[in-house]
């Protein structure tokens, strides 16, 4: 995670020690001008980093700001504060030309396989697009598109077909192929498997794992499903209302959660074993976490306090800082 010593941009650390991606105190507010200043932050002071070849999972419920963070890293969302550093370069507000230089190395796989490929372009044309933008000639780009399709388990001939001729799972493989065709170091996967059925989801998760092992990729794996994250990620960051609640090694966060929210999140994820699920349900109900339906906390303090069984006046007055507890960092006064 982010350490106290900041990385000086003018003197980059040796590549091996330097994090691939570093997000520091990221703040995102929606809207512009006065609206934005008054709006509650969608992302509120989030920091984390990803080492080369590492997979970090970003977990949270709807409205937790996880997708917004992904968009900010990819330059699709304006940042209101904090910094995003990629391989020692500040990319917080990189323009289109900087993105073009970066775009081959930092790539994305999005959620909806129906909309992540242009239905009017052939698969080959979609795959070749990022290469062509980088000046690769048409013949070579086409060649590499075919190679990449084979790598993700589709025949070369698929280059001439249109996305609508493929199933959701196949389209998501094509999206993965498009992300990897430039040989990137980091791929942001925003809910990349959540629109897929179980069996196809497993296929795509395995493919992502294979490619990571093969090419030493780093992933920022954004998902609402902690079990899916747990399969792929070495470290997990748990978000609630735009703030980091807990972060640490995947096994520690998912098996032995320290923050009351993480505990609730883990306990709420049902397992397909009836006896065990009955026990988990009991455990969840005994946690005493209140429903989030009507609870919108005011600014300041812990964002989870209105639902939290441990909450006191301290939680209302003071925002808990991340501190190490067990194997993880936890933002709770009482964890």
Partner 1 sequence: MIPNTAPAPADETTTAAAVLPQTPGQSAAKKFAGSKLFGSPASIAGVIWLAALVAASLTAPLWLPFKTEDQDFTAVLSGPTAAHWLGTDELGRDLLSRIFASAAGTLGTSMITVIVAVGLGTLLAMLAAAAGDRAENVISRVTEIMMSLPGTVIILAVIGAVGTNIPLIMGILGVLISAGIYRVMLGQAKSLQSQLYVDAAKVDGMGMAGISLRHVLPGLTNTIVVQAALIFAVGMLIQAGLAFIGFGPPIPEPSWGGMIQGASQHVYDAPWLMVPTGAVLALTVLAANAIGNALGKAPNATASHLPSAAARRQRAKSVAAIAAAAPAPKDSAKDTLSVRNLSVGVDNGVRLVTDVSFDVEPGTVLGLVGESGCGKTMTALSLLGLLPSGVSVAEGQILWNGTNLAAATEKAMEGIRGREVALISQEPMRALDPMFTVGYQLTAAIRRLRGTGRADAKAEALGLLEKVGIVDAARILKTYPHQISGGMAQRVAIALALSGRPRLLVADEPTTALDVTVQAEILSLLRSLVKDTGMSVVMVTHDLGVVADLCDQVAVMYAGQVVENGRTDSILDNPRHPYTLALLAADPHANHAADMPERLATITGQVPQPKDWPSTCRFASRCQFAGSACTVPVPLLPSGAGDGVVRCVKADELAVVGLDWVATDIPARHVLSLSETRTVEKDHA
**Distance in angstroms between the alpha carbons of the first and the last residue of the chain:** 19
Among 28, 158, 217, 335, binds partner 1 (CB under 8 A): 158
With tokens 């498009």, the residue in question is 178
Contact status: 101 vs partner 1 (CB under 8 A):
yes
Q: Partners of 46 in the beta sheet?
A: 26
Among 2, 55, 87, 203, binds partner 1 (CB under 8 A): 203
For residue 223 the two structure tokens come to: 């998902």
- Select from 44, 20, 14, 18 the least CA-distant residue to 30: 44
Report which secondary-structure segment, H or E, holds 330: strand 328-330
Compute the distance between CA of residue 116 and CA of residue 118 in angstroms, rounded to an integer: 7
Instruction: Count residues near partner 1 (CB under 8 A).
Output: 94
> What's the closest the beta carbon of residue 265 comes to partner 1, in angstroms?
6
Stretch that binds partner 1, among 37-45, 49-57, 100-108, 214-222 (CB under 8 A): 100-108
Our CB check for partner 1 shows the closer of 281 and 323 to be 281
Contact status: 269 vs partner 1 (CB under 8 A):
yes
Among 6, 100, 283, 323, binds partner 1 (CB under 8 A): 100
Compute the distance between CA of residue 210 and CA of residue 55 in angstroms, rounded to an integer: 13
Compute the distance between CA of residue 177 and CA of residue 164 in angstroms, rounded to an integer: 17
Angle, in degrees to the nearest 10, between helices 168-180 and 123-133: 20
> What's the closest the beta carbon of residue 1 comes to partner 1, in angstroms?
19
Q: 291-299 long-range contacts, Cβ below 8 Å, gap at least 24?
A: 297/241, 299/40
Restricted to residues 293-332, the positions that interact with partner 1 (CB under 8 A) are: 293-294
Our CB check for partner 1 shows the closer of 15 and 278 to be 278
Contact status: 118 vs partner 1 (CB under 8 A):
yes
Compute the distance between CA of residue 204 and CA of residue 122 in angstroms, rounded to an integer: 21
Sign, CA dihedral 177-179-183-186, equals: negative
Contact status: 224 vs partner 1 (CB under 8 A):
yes
Report which secondary-structure segment, H or E, holds 282: helix 274-287
Angle, in degrees to the nearest 10, between helices 274-287 and 260-268: 150
Our CB check for partner 1 shows the closer of 2 and 122 to be 122
Our CB check for partner 1 shows the closer of 81 and 249 to be 249
Our CB check for partner 1 shows the closer of 4 and 96 to be 96
Contact status: 32 vs partner 1 (CB under 8 A):
yes
Site string for partner 1, 123-142 (x = CB under 8 A): ---x--xx--x---------
Contact status: 102 vs partner 1 (CB under 8 A):
yes
DSSP state of 16: T
Stretch that binds partner 1, among 79-87, 164-172, 316-324, 327-335 (CB under 8 A): 164-172
Our CB check for partner 1 shows the closer of 7 and 84 to be 84
Contact status: 262 vs partner 1 (CB under 8 A):
no
> What's the closest the beta carbon of residue 68 comes to partner 1, in angstroms?
13
> What's the closest the beta carbon of residue 317 comes to partner 1, in angstroms?
25
Backbone angles phi, psi at 48, to 5 degrees: -165, 170
DSSP state of 248: E
Our CB check for partner 1 shows the closer of 49 and 116 to be 116
Contact status: 268 vs partner 1 (CB under 8 A):
yes
Among 57, 82, 103, 146, binds partner 1 (CB under 8 A): 103
């Amino acid at each position: 995670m982010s350490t106290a010593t900041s990385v000086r941009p003018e003197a980059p650390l040796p590549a091996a020690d330097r994090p691939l991606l570093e997000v520091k105190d990221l703040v995102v507010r929606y809207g512009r001008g006065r609206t934005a200043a008054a709006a509650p932050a969608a992302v509120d002071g989030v920091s984390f980093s990803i080492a080369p070849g590492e997979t970090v999972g970003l977990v949270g419920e709807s409205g937790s700001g996880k997708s917004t963070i992904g968009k900010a890293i990819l330059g699709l969302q304006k940042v209101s504060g904090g910094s995003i550093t990629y391989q020692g370069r500040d990319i917080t507000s990189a323009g289109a030309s900087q993105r073009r230089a970066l775009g081959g190395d930092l790539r994305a796989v999005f959620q909806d396989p129906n909309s992540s490929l242009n239905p009017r372009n052939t698969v080959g044309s979609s795959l070749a697009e990022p290469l062509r933008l980088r000046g690769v000639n048409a013949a070579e780009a086409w060649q590499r598109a075919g190679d990449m399709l084979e790598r993700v388990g589709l025949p070369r001939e698929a280059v001439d077909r249109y996305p609508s001729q493929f199933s959701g799972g196949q389209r998501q493989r094509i999206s993965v192929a498009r992300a990897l065709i430039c040989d990137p170091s980091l791929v942001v996967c925003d809910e990349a498997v959540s629109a897929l059925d179980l069996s196809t989801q497993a296929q795509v998760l395995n493919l992502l794992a294979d490619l990571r092992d093969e090419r030493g990729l780093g992933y920022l794996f954004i998902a609402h499903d902690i079990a899916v994250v747990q399969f792929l990620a070495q470290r997990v960051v748990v978000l609630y209302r735009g703030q980091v609640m807990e972060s640490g090694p995947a096994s520690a966060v998912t098996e032995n959660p320290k923050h009351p929210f993480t505990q609730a999140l883990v306990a709420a994820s049902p397992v397909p074993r009836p006896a065990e699920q009955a026990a988990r349900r009991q455990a969840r109900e005994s946690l005493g976490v209140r429903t989030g339906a009507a609870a919108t906390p005011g600014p300041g303090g812990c964002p989870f306090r209105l639902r939290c069984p441990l909450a006191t006046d301290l939680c209302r007055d003071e925002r808990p800082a991340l501190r190490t507890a067990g194997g993880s960092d936890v933002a709770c006064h009482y964890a």
